[in-house]
Amino acid sequence: LMRHPLFFLAILLAGCAPAGPNLPIDEPGWHDEVIYHVSQRSFYDSNGDRHGDLNGFVEKLPYLKELGVTAILFMPLYQSNLYHNYFPTDYTAIDPEYGTMEEYLDFVRAVHAHGLKFIMDMETQYAANGHPWFDDSYKNPSSPFTNYIYYADDRNERPAQMFAGPDDSLLTLQAWPDVRFNIVFLNLNAPEIRSWLKDFYAHWVDPNGDGLFDDGVDGFRLDHIMDDLDYKGIFTSMYANVWKPVLDHVYTINPDLFIVGEQSNWLEFGEEMMAQTGATASFGFPIRFAISGAPTIYMGGRIDPADRDELNATKIKAAVEETMRRIPKDRYFLNFIENHDMERWASAMEGDRGRVRAAGALNLLLPGIPSIYYGQELGLPGLVGEWGHDGNHIPVRDAFPWTPNPEDAGIAAFAKDTGPWWDVSYFNTPEIERLALSAQKNEPGSTWHFYRALIALRKRHQPLMFGDYATIPHPDSTVYAFSRSLDEERIVAVFNLSDEAKSFSLEEVDAAGYHPLFGETVNDTGRLALDGFGFAVLGR
């Protein structure tokens, strides 16, 4: 969950030498994973209350296997007054709308029984009103929890807050039209909180302490990770003094944990964060924004399509090469084009089929670990709203359309009839008849079949998971060609990132003697013919 309102995207990248894979194929790693990032509240409802839940997710694990993804990344699960479960009121409890703690443990065991992995989103730097640490200590210096919340005064009247200055009184934020809340900082300088963090993270790694991990997470996503929290100068050197001790501790329990830090500044590559904290991975924000061409990042507004320069081959090449140069070989980066904070790609591209599929292919074929946001495989639309409160992001966290009818069993339409976000839901458009999974499964040319086939292609060819990457030069600046190589196998991907149809000899893209594995094909004259925003994957 991002909190800064605006960053300017100004990445001027110089070309650099091709880089190799981050880990050798014979070492344990995550290069062969495909992560499914999901708002669990929006996925599948097992009990008829319109809220996605853990039991419902267990029912749909076969769907994830069918799609081909291998790991699941949830948004936070712990109890909160907010629908997205950031800013908790109780870190120790599972949100009852998701289920009980025992149902959570059953869910994790089921995930592992299906051969999948589970990554838990962790946001452990704040508390909201309703949390006993804050409620009991606010204006009460004698509270046993006084040192758990950071106060700037000895009367406990000025807690450090998000979006507030050091001398501001308690700031009230709006979650819904009729729901307001406060966000305060945990006292991350206090020994009590630092000890609690270690214990809290360790609990999810091995909940019953038996040394087995059938009921434990396979990794964490660290939300909004910063060295100086919210640039307030209160909690500094957090990478070394807070996060590294926590991660070192959980690695002693399970050294194979996958820990991805969401760098708070989306313009950064994350290498400094990983080096200082010991995190396993960062997010490939620079690649994502090179693909989208968005010059700015709005956390509460929309990007004017006129300001875009999406799918610019030169910028994507530079971003990939710079990412490969910066990220150490023993670390990872996640590739993505959608997440829970951003506009849906299909809406950003105004439904343009070629642009939607080209970006999806880059998501899965480029180096890095691909992360697919739930519904991306259906081409779901969704734009961040401008209603002035926490409902803004519901359109990009809408219910997964198993069927076109939001009244059908299982549809997790938790936001139905609750505000203007429902008025713009895809369930209220004619497009839902085409977008729903029930329709797409029956249409061989659907976006769902496209993603399923691409994921299967990636799994069949190890260079697409583990292989070295090299850009293939081409005189046409709208052509992006690259190879992925491992041992004796080499795969070539060629993208026409323009509106105009183009054709190439195979020699032009260093693929003489290759044949198409996916995408468009070689024509009768022996040339590779690509439609506008078309692509082809070639192998020997």
Residue-level pLDDT at 28: 57
Residue 13: the pLDDT is 34
Residue-level pLDDT at 305:
61
Q: Give every residue of the chain whose pLDDT is below 50, as ranges.
A: 2-26, 296-301
Phi, psi of 169 (to 5 degrees): -75, 180
pLDDT for the residue 233? 94
pLDDT of residue 19: 41
pTM: 0.93
Q: Round the average pLDDT of the chain to a whole number and report it.
A: 91
Residue 306 pLDDT:
65
334/344 Cα distance (integer angstroms): 17
Residue partners of 184: CB distance under 8 A and separation at least 6? 126, 127, 128, 134, 149, 150, 159, 160, 161
- The contacts of residue 124 (CB under 8 Å, 6+ apart) are 91, 186, 197, 200, 201
Supply the angle between the helices 447-460 and 353-365 in degrees, to the nearest 10. 20
SS3 call for 83: coil
Q: Any idea what DSSP says for residue 335?
A: E
**Contact 467/21 with Cβ under 8 angstroms?**
yes
Pairing of strands 179-181, 296-298: unpaired
C-alpha 255/C-alpha 82 separation (Å) is 33
| Contact indicator for 446, 411 with CB cutoff of 8 Å | no
Q: What angle do CA 514, 518, 519 make, to 5 degrees?
A: 110
| DSSP string for residues in 172-237 | PEEEETTEEE-EEEB-TTSHHHHHHHHHHHHHHHSTT-SS--TTS-SEEEEEEE-SSGGG-SSS-S
Question: What is the model's pLDDT at position 168?
Answer: 84
pLDDT digits (tens, 9 = 90+) for 118-166: 999 999 999 999 999 999 999 999 999 999 999 999 999 999 998 888 7
| Dist. CA 362–CA 317, nearest whole Å | 11
Looking at residue 164, its pLDDT comes to 86
Residue 307 pLDDT:
64
Nearest to 531, CA basis, from 504, 505, 509: 504
Integer CA distances (angstroms), 160 to 144, 263, 298, in order: 18, 21, 25
pLDDT at residue 302, as a whole number: 55
- Beta-bridged to residue 472, according to DSSP, are 481
pLDDT in tens, 490-509: 999 999 999 999 999 999 99
